[in-house]
Amino acid sequence: MTSTGNALMRSLPAIDELLRAPAGEALGARFGREFATTILREVVTAARARLASEGAAAMPAVDAEALLAAAEARLVSLVTPALRPVLNLTGTVLHTNLGRAPLPQAAIDAMTAVAAGASNLEFDLDSGRRGDRDSHVEAWICRLTGAEAATVVNNNAAAVLLLLNTLAPRREVIVSRGELVEIGGAFRIPDVMSRAGAKLVEVGTTNRTHRADFEAAIGERTALLMKVHTSNYAIHGFTHAVPEVELAACAHGRGLPFVVDLGSGTLIDLSRHGLPHEQTVAETLAAGADLVSFSGDKLLGGPQAGIIAGRADLVRRIKKNPMKRALRVDKLTLAALGAVLTLYADPARAVRELPALRLLTRPRAEIDEVARRVLPAVVAALGEHAEVDVVDCASQIGSGALPVDLLASAALRIAPRVTRGNAVERLARAFRRLPLPVVGRVSDGALLFDLRCLDDEAGFVAQLPRLAWPR
């Protein structure tokens, strides 16, 4: 290194000097002296490398004030939670990547109540002895579905895995070929079965399967018959699926259980609230299913969970499987799920208070009013950079529920006036960089904000002046 380079390196302030500066002392008080010291060292090391490569041209960025500012930005970034709230304006209500069902206040309050200290998670207050954590929700699941017993694990894939590992290890499970679905993240039903130790037996064809196909496949190694709800796609035209009642009769006639992986698992008849009908858990059990598995965080509107409900003797076997401990849920999930289930005592109240159901049933006129109120603020924030108008659009339920059914909605359509350099993608990124990130979808050269899920209008509008137009 030249003498000039050495002089530049010596000009860098020492760590102790930075820590003694008023701004350095403030960093130590705010973030802890040890943490602040570590980050200052990293910043100074980066500055030293920049001086070595750029020489004197880098000097404005490596004085004491700049180094302390860089350290503060780095510290703030590190302590800011990576998991953050966002505004979901994608048009997919139950968006898997954005956390699926938002929780009602009753669930949040229930989680807060047990999070701060000890709780009776596995303690029977009457007997003073060890209890069963499923007991906090099992009675309500049974009441709402007609099941004899129930258990809860951390998601529906885990429920299917545990169920099969308990009832069909090293034995055969018969499933229609048209139901061998792949869900999000490339998780496939055949792979789950294999990991559970069960052998898949496919029957029928992609579009048509008959009761005779199942009957012909039953043999000495058959453990159960299974129906998988094709939640994330639909086949139309020349199709046939065996009704649950017939599959149950087929299984029971040979002394076998009949199991349904229902997926979304709604507890009420959605058609009464203006949505397409989705088969309920109670209807599935009434049709003869011995066990039904379903999710807690989809149409049920609760926390992530997988629920198995049905025959008491089969549920008891599942609870005794050592894998149950590995897949069990914690006190926060049970508290939230319990609070959500009690709302279903009054289905009308559930639709009002469960955000997922309320947003799914939100009237189009109400969405239009939201658009009217927020449009001027968006126009003002974007100025001459983009054209903004309100357009008709279609929301989807999401998370595999009713995949072909769409809900009439309204969206803000934001079209950049300058289209070069992928301006619409840069605009979408700018909205995602707001303090409360706004996530929409890009379509036909414009950014669309579906307003069905916009509850926090004030928060959305208040931060618009901070939008940095992408250069």
Range of the domain at 279: 103-353
The mean pLDDT of 139-144, rounded to a whole number, is 98
- Name the pairing type of β-strands 438-439 and 187-188: unpaired
Q: Which of 451, 361, 352, 444 minimizes the C-alpha distance to 409? A: 451
Asked if residue 54 is part of any domain, the answer here is: yes
Q: Is the domain of 171 the same as that of 39?
A: no
Is 335 found in the same domain as 245? yes
126 lies in a domain?
yes
Position 1 scores a pLDDT of 47
Task: Please give the average per-residue pLDDT across 339-366, as a whole number.
Answer: 95
> Among 322, 353, 384, which residue terminates a domain?
353
Q: Band the pLDDT of 337: cuts 50, 70, 90.
A: very high
The structural domain count of the chain equals 3
> Does the pLDDT value for residue 6 go beyond 70?
no
Q: Which of 312, 336, 286 is nearest to 146 (CA)?
A: 286
Per-residue pLDDT at 3 exceeds 50: no
CB 453 within 8 A of CB 89: yes
Instruction: Write down the mean pLDDT value for the chain.
Output: 90
| pTM attached to this predicted model | 0.89
* pLDDT band (50, 70, 90) for residue 53: confident
Residue 172 and residue 63 share a domain: no
pLDDT confidence of residue 205:
79
Query: What mean pLDDT comes out for the span 256-275?
Result: 91
Is position 311 within any domain? yes
Do 37 and 114 belong to one domain?
no
Q: Check whether residue 183 and residue 331 sit in a common domain.
A: yes
For the segment 157-181, the average pLDDT, to the nearest whole number, is 91
Are residue 302 and residue 154 in the same domain, yes or no? yes
Return the percentage of the chain with pLDDT > 90, whole number: 72
Measured distance CA(395)–CA(274) in Å, rounded: 14
Top pLDDT among 190 and 307 is at 307
Tokens of 207: 């579009």
Residue 264 has pLDDT above 90, yes or no: no
Can you tell me the mean pLDDT for 43-56? Answer: 80
Residues 19, 164 share a domain = no
In three-state form (DSSP H/G/I as H, E/B as E, the rest C), the secondary structure along 366-413 is HHHHHHHHHHHHHHHHHHHHEEEEEEEEEEEEECCEEEEEEEEEEEEE
Judge whether 224 lies within some domain: yes
Domain final residue pick, 353, 369, 386: 353
Give the model's confidence band at 298: pLDDT under 50 very low, under 70 low, under 90 confident, else very high. Answer: very high
CATH number for the domain including 397? Answer: 3.90.1150.180
Quick check: is 393 in a domain? yes
Q: Are 329 and 312 in contact (CB under 8 A)?
A: no
Q: 366 with 451, same domain?
A: yes
- Asked if pLDDT for residue 232 goes beyond 80, the answer is no
Tell me: pLDDT of 121 over 50.
Answer: yes
- Does residue 292 share a domain with residue 195? yes
Q: Are residues 390 and 374 in the same domain?
A: yes
Per-residue model confidence (pLDDT) at position 16 = 93
Per-residue model confidence (pLDDT) at position 438: 97
Residue 292 and residue 161 in one domain:
yes
**8 pLDDT higher than 80:** no
pLDDT over 70 at 258, yes or no:
yes
* Domain C-terminal end among 353, 388, 421: 353
Residue 125 lies in a domain: yes
Q: Is residue 471 part of a domain?
A: no
Q: Are 331 and 369 members of one domain? A: no
CATH number of domain containing 151: 3.40.640.10
Q: Does 299 fall in a domain?
A: yes
